[in-house]
Amino acid sequence: MDAPPPIGVFDSGVGGLTVLGALHAALPAEDFIYLGDTARLPYGTKSATTVARYSAQCAGALVARGIRALVVACNTASAFALADLRRDFPRMPIIGVIEPGAQAAVAASRTQRIAVIATEGTIAGGAYQAAIRRLSAAAEVRTRACSLFVAMAEEGWTEGPLTEAVAHRYLDGMFDGAAAPDTLVLGCTHFPVLAAAIRAVLPPGVRVIDSAATTAAAVAAVIGAGGAGGAGGRGSGRVVWLATDGAARFARVGSRFFGRTLAADDIEIIDL
């Protein structure tokens, strides 16, 4: 029997590889097509309109290649484009990273006081705040944009005094006071690679939520239960790699995010 069509995954660049890594671990026999829009990274500092337009182009390119489900593996794109994508591709199961992250946070928090760190766009758009309050009406949400973390993760500055100093600068004060959050959502694809440095500056006991694993569980549930071809795993675990610029950089930086060595020759550069 033929393998089912692959699952499409896109991000503004290599950050979504933290999500692809979790998808691959949860669904090892599924095939994937990953698209990183490296020519136009970052999305996190761009307007909602621009991010929605770029996201529609990424989704269109993946749908044209024949996918059976689409994962928006970028928090900023999930914040600004998910509703439009679901309207434009009504028959395609589309999973973003914000709803699974919010669900995991609400489930983990004892006090329903939740902190979220993300890009400027994700925080300004209010998608995490809304998703958490939809699940837990009384939840209190503190947010902070931590834009510099994106560049530091790409640079490979994931630990050490400089990284911790920046983490202090962003997070100090966020967990102070009687209403201090007990849970922190890493609301950006890049932040899981900085998790150790972030944990190092948090008060003891704060739970850290990385939406990659919960997104993978959501995808497994959708393709298993949503009639999108079954989670039977008849593929070979193959990944087709697409980017919009810079195969060598994609491979070099992406290897750190994916946790496995990627080869520049395997990355096809496409125009959107």
Least distance to ligand DGL from the beta carbon of 148, Å? Answer: 11
Q: What six digits make up the tokens of 255?
A: 């290897």
Can 58 be counted among the known catalytic residues?
no
Closest CA to 29 of 260, 236, 220: 236
At closest approach, how far in Å is the CB of 16 from ligand DGL? 6
| DSSP codes joined into one string, 252-263 | HHHHHHHTS---
Q: Is 146 a catalytic residue?
A: no
CA distance 234 to 3: 5
- Phi, psi of 78, deg, nearest 5: -65, -40
Nearer to ligand DGL, 75 or 103 (CB): 75
**From 82, 186, 188, 228, the catalytic residue:** 188
Q: Which CB, 75 or 163, lies closer to ligand DGL?
A: 75
> To 5 degrees, how large is the angle CA 221–CA 223–CA 227?
115
The residue (of 11 and 30) whose beta carbon lies closer to ligand DGL is 11
Give 213 or 228: the residue with its C-beta nearer to ligand DGL. Answer: 213
Which is the catalytic residue, given 74, 223, 239, 247? 74
Tell me which residue has its CB nearest to ligand DGL.
Answer: 44
Would you say 219 and 244 are in contact if contact means Cβ atoms under 8 Å apart? no
Give residues in contact with ligand DGL (CB under 6 A). 11-13, 15, 41-44, 74-76, 119, 122, 150, 188-190
Please choose, from the candidates 108, 99, 254, 119, the residue with its C-alpha nearest in 3D space to the C-alpha of residue 188.
119
**Residue among 117, 137, 138 at smallest CA distance from 128:** 117
CB of 77 to ligand DGL, least distance (A): 7
Q: Cβ 228 to ligand DGL, closest distance in Å?
A: 24
Which positions are catalytic? 74, 188
